[in-house]
Structure 1
Amino acid sequence: MIFMPLWQRLLVVAAIVGALVLAAPNLFYDRVERANDARAQIAAGITSPELEAEAALWPAWLPSGLVNLGLDLRGGAHLLAEVQVEDVYESRMDALWPEVRDALAAERETVGFVTREQIVPTELSVRISEPSGVPRAVEIVRGLARPVPTLTGGGAPDIEVTADGTLLTVRLSEAERAATDDRTVRQALEIIRRRIDEVGTREPTIVRQGADRILVQVPGVGSAQEVKDLIGTTAQLTFHPVIQRTTDPAADPGPGGMLVPALDEPGVFYALDRTPVVTGEQLVDAQPSFDQNGRPAVNFRFNPQGARAFGEYTAQNIGEPFAIVLDNEVISAPVIQSAIPGGSGIITGNFTVESSTDLAVLLRAGALPAGLTFLEERTVGPELGQDSIEAGRTAALIGLAVVVAYIIASYGLFGVMASAALAINITLLVAALSVIGATLTLPGLAGIVLTIGMAVDANVLVFERIREELRRGAGPARAIDLGYQKAMSAIVDANITTLITAGVLFFLGAGPVRGFAVTLGLGIVTSVFTALFVTRLMVSVWFNSRRPKTVVV
């Protein structure tokens, strides 16, 4: 009699039943997906009879996890963007100018008058009026340098200062440029991820490629332009003092100023102080709302540092205009009526409900630190994705049919049991992918097809060991027990090496390679489980009920 402990039998049955329940939602993919989307919107506070009806398409008490389909299976957008890291150099120089100006002004007797000249945007050019004060001026500005953080502590200074006559040129050092480039791309990557996650897209792929490029793949969207509209806006929000309002596009804003067009007033320009009072980086929240006249607007709130600066400036400049600038366009220039000490305010303009909501999303996600240039963009149509699914399904069915035919022809009844275990193996694999929310791509489908071929390897080892024991004269029950016992070490050793390979692919690979590694790794685990426990349970039930005198394997 083949012995298999009761707890093992119960565990195997529970695993099979659980896998069937967890994998079942994938048989009703569209219905479950629509119900999940509706429930997510309801949980976010959006409700309507239509959403309630969508949420009811799938019972809430049933599992609703799905295997997410990747870009190549359901269609979507593929974008490759290059981060314009040089933009950050210019903003760094603009931010450094007040500090340089104040430090030099403190020793005006030595360096004379200090003015800024616009020569190279990525450099800060400062002219002093006293030639004899150049060495001292260089010393003062160099004293403002900070060490570039490294793994071993402070490193080289972050700025370099040179002098040509009375003109001082300040630029970022090579070490600081490298560190700034890395930070900029990392920040852009995170902000793109936040923006895409805000609108509820399914399982986007957002990864860094090379030094300054970001790959974005978003399944399920209609076109690449939709994604570009969402992530391509820098949404750099700043608040500037207004010098003057003019209709002259060639007006001189003066030293330290900049000329910015008005968004909703064609032909109108604002001369603004280049240094902002507060920026969007100090925002902690932004929500769509309505102004006192019922028109769409955006409420915002600053962090303590921004609230303090905002409150102090508004208290000192009551009656003066204050420009709100979004991506180098003045969207509003209200007159300060009173001090605003709480750090909260409202952005008004020619908004629609949709545009105010989009702006709030962009501001909450944060400003992109630099502009993006889209080097590659393409849209994968849903029809192509469906063709990929059909091709993958056909390959899996053909592979399954060939494997089943071979195993039954080779091992008879035991081959039938192995084929049934193979179906359970695929169910276990789909259930595992659903639970972890994995994204299935074409390479992932290839991993599943490979798993079908590999799944019978362990059974072949077991059945061949049983044949050997029968040839040695062992009885049927003894041969089966010894076959499973002696094959276990070989099965584990053979699959451990493949599992290690899958792990290396997962941790060192990216995108589709990781998808292949996930399905391959999970397939190995489920294959070993079905070979050592599921088929053994089937053989045990059959043998103990029939008590055959001989066994043909």
Structure 2
Amino acid sequence: MLNRYPLWKYVMLIFVILLSFLYALPNFYGEDPAVQITGVRGNAASELTLNQVHDILKKNHLTSQSIALKNGTILVRFKDPNVQLAARDVLISILGDSYVVALNLAPATPIWLRALGADPMKLGLDLRGGVHFLMEVDMDAILSKLQIQNMDSLRRELQEKNITYTQITKQNSTHGYGIEIDFSDAKSRDEAMSYLSSRQKHMLINADRGNKLKALMTSDRLREVREYAVQQNMTILRNRVNQIGVAEPLVQRQGDRIVVELPGIQDTARAKEILGATASLEFHLVNTKVTPEAAAIGRVPADTEIKKDRDGRLVALYKKVIMTGDHITDAFFGIDEYNRPQVNISLDSLGSAIMSDFTKDNIGKLMASLYVEYKDSGNKDINGRPILVKQEEVINAANISSRFGGRFQITGIGTPSEARQLALLLRAGALIAPIQIVEERTIGPTLGAQNISQGLDACLAGLAASILFMVVYYRKFGMIASTALLVNLVLIVGVMSLLPGVTLTMPGIAGIVLTLAVAVDANVLINERIKEELRNARSIQQAIHEGYKGAFSSIIDANITTLITAIILYAVGTGSIKGFAITTIIGVLTSMFTAILGTRAIVNMLYGAKRIEKLSI
């Protein structure tokens, strides 16, 4: 029979609409202004901190909606942004440098909706507010590190070949991070040049004045290192952002710089602490032959250097690095048998081999874990960029009692919070080179709310204009199309809220407005085909059936071409272009669903299997 749907189709439609409405619902609750309190290195937010925060707010007559402690972070919700700002200032002044007190926005979704996995759409920086960083990779640091590695490599090659040299020195960066090797005679120099040139393909090795060789990295090698540094730092920054739980961040390349955008974060302190941290580990053998008295006056062998532990005690370490944190594949917090914090380390295959070979030959000796970090010195260079200083600290020195494998533990860490922080940084990866924040910008939630309001006004204005046109021109069928249009909007919001990788931006709102127009276009095609069939003296039931059937191919063709264009935009675009493309893709799919299936279901319910004398179209 014409214009009849089986029961399962109606059930499916109702289920899809209700499900979309359920997952769209959290977007109507908005967000609460909140203050987030997190312990910095060496401190932890605990129940004691929670009670302290509660007392501080009560004493200063600042009313909060709720205070909760979760995973070492305290989140305090407020009703008013003014109270939020006042609370932030008070908490910073009392808690001091022991904690990072950051402004944030927390979804106000009811507990019962969160239990169903229903969360609001993730909003981009332009809608939600947040922080924007432009970071520059410190190429001098990585090239200097590579220069030292090249020196070790050249030294090892010469020793293996039994070629005698007097000294190997490095040249400064203005000479291209070169290396100079002195020989006692020209014969040794020429023999070394011949041998090293065939072994060190990434270096240009030439004779210099006197009995010297000069080794410079090739331009291809320098370009490769720079490219690798930027790409690896981008990967590590993404990992770090994911570790601290920032929703839908943007990390993308801009030349030799990196752009990082963190929606929802309203204070740069916490973000800078995690993103800018260059923490890594180096493992060194302890030189036990150096006495404390000799270490105090700096009287140590050339192959040894003095470092301090967390208590200020001097520790003599051999300069040679056994292994760095580059080989760490996993790191997680744990507690040892004495209830002390520790970090459990897993190594890659190369790291496992290095550690296994070293510990096998050095059982009974002390091995130290050196914590290395670059921090802002507070001074700036001639270009106005922060000058980073290297800070090193011996966090433990343990006796090698047996041969290590690919897993071992680091103990001697001060607090559980510090162990967690170290594990986070090691798990996310050490930055290949230090980064400097050359530009930082905070976009306030007020501007984001204004963008949302303007975008919503534009969307509703377009929707109202479309509904008015459809109702006036197509009457009852126009009302049916308008109903489908409203359902389509709910479907778009529901799908975008449900999908974890989708973020709404201002261009995304433009994509929604565009897809609403596309949805109207589909209903115009259907209605015009029905009217055409009626003019051809078809019966009403046949006109409806043929109208939907005839318009189907045109709707599919038009939407498929739009869909292909949007997919191409998503594949090759970045940032705002992707935001526009993803909402367009979702909108096109939902508009086809509502325009073809949705309106047909309503028409079938109203007109299917009935004797109709006249259509309101």
TM-score, structure 2 length as denominator? 0.75
Which letter maps to 1:329? Q
2:506 to 431, 439, 442: 442
| Aligned: 1:502 with 2:560 | no
Distance 1:377 1:520 in 2: 31
- Look up the match of 1:426: 489
Change over 3 Å in CA distance of 1:55–1:2 after alignment to 2? closer
Distance 1:318 1:516 in 2: 63
| Aligned: 1:225 with 2:257 | no
Which letter maps to 1:3? N
- 1:30-70 Cα offsets, whole Å, 9 max, x none, are 59x9xxxxxxxxxxx9599999xx99922676342542122
- Look up the match of 1:324: 370
Query: Partner of 1:373: helix, strand, or coil?
Result: strand
Change over 3 Å in CA distance of 1:206–1:251 after alignment to 2? same
| Aligned: 1:26 with 2:27 | yes
Which letter maps to 2:259? L
Given that residues 206 and 215 in structure 1 are in contact (C-alpha distance below 8 angstroms), is that contact kept between their aligned partners in structure 2?
A: yes
- 1:188-239 Cα offsets, whole Å, 9 max, x none, are 11111111111112111222233x2222111122323322211111113212
Distance 1:48 1:523 in 2: 38
- 1:444-465 Cα offsets, whole Å, 9 max, x none, are 1121122222221111111112
Query: Aligned runs of 1:167-178 on 2, under 5 Å?
Result: 167-178=212-223
Distance 2:468 2:5 in 1: 32
- Look up the match of 2:133: 79
Tell me which moved more, 73-82 or 282-291: 282-291
Identity of aligned residues (%): 31
Distance 1:415 1:285 in 2: 60
Distance 2:232 2:608 in 1: 64
Which letter maps to 1:24? L
List alignment gaps of at least 5 residues for structure 1.
Answer: 34-44, 146-156
Q: Residue 299 of structure 1: CA displacement?
A: 4.8
- 1:61-110 Cα offsets, whole Å, 9 max, x none, are 634254212222222111121223343332223223333212212444xx
- 1:2-30 Cα offsets, whole Å, 9 max, x none, are 42442544443443333233333434465
Query: Aligned runs of 1:314-463 on 2, under 5 Å?
Result: 316=362, 318=364, 322=368, 324-327=370-373, 328-332=390-394, 337-342=399-404, 344-348=408-412, 351-437=414-500, 438-463=502-527
- Look up the match of 2:248: 203
- Look up the match of 2:188: 133
Distance 1:406 1:417 in 2: 13
Distance 2:401 2:197 in 1: 38
- Look up the match of 1:484: 548
- 1:502-524 Cα offsets, whole Å, 9 max, x none, are 11110010111101101111111
- Look up the match of 2:594: 530
Q: Residue 418 of structure 1: CA displacement?
A: 0.6
Q: CA RMSD in A?
A: 3.6
| Aligned: 1:166 with 2:218 | no
Which letter maps to 1:391? Q
Query: Partner of 2:216: helix, strand, or coil?
Result: strand
Query: Partner of 1:531: helix, strand, or coil?
Result: helix
Distance 1:333 1:411 in 2: 77
Given that residues 85 and 370 in structure 1 are in contact (C-alpha distance below 8 angstroms), is that contact kept between their aligned partners in structure 2?
A: yes
State the aligned residue count.
523
Change over 3 Å in CA distance of 1:542–1:342 after alignment to 2? same
List alignment gaps of at least 5 residues for structure 2.
Answer: 35-69, 77-107, 374-389
Given that residues 19 and 428 in structure 1 are in contact (C-alpha distance below 8 angstroms), is that contact kept between their aligned partners in structure 2?
A: yes
Query: Partner of 1:200: helix, strand, or coil?
Result: coil
Change over 3 Å in CA distance of 1:338–1:418 after alignment to 2? closer
- 1:266-323 Cα offsets, whole Å, 9 max, x none, are 7x88775443111111224433456888765545454565455446556638566746
Change over 3 Å in CA distance of 1:370–1:353 after alignment to 2? same
Distance 1:224 1:256 in 2: 41
Distance 1:391 1:443 in 2: 12
- Look up the match of 2:98: none
| Aligned: 1:543 with 2:607 | yes
TM-score, structure 1 length as denominator? 0.83
Given that residues 23 and 427 in structure 1 are in contact (C-alpha distance below 8 angstroms), is that contact kept between their aligned partners in structure 2?
A: yes
Change over 3 Å in CA distance of 1:452–1:170 after alignment to 2? same
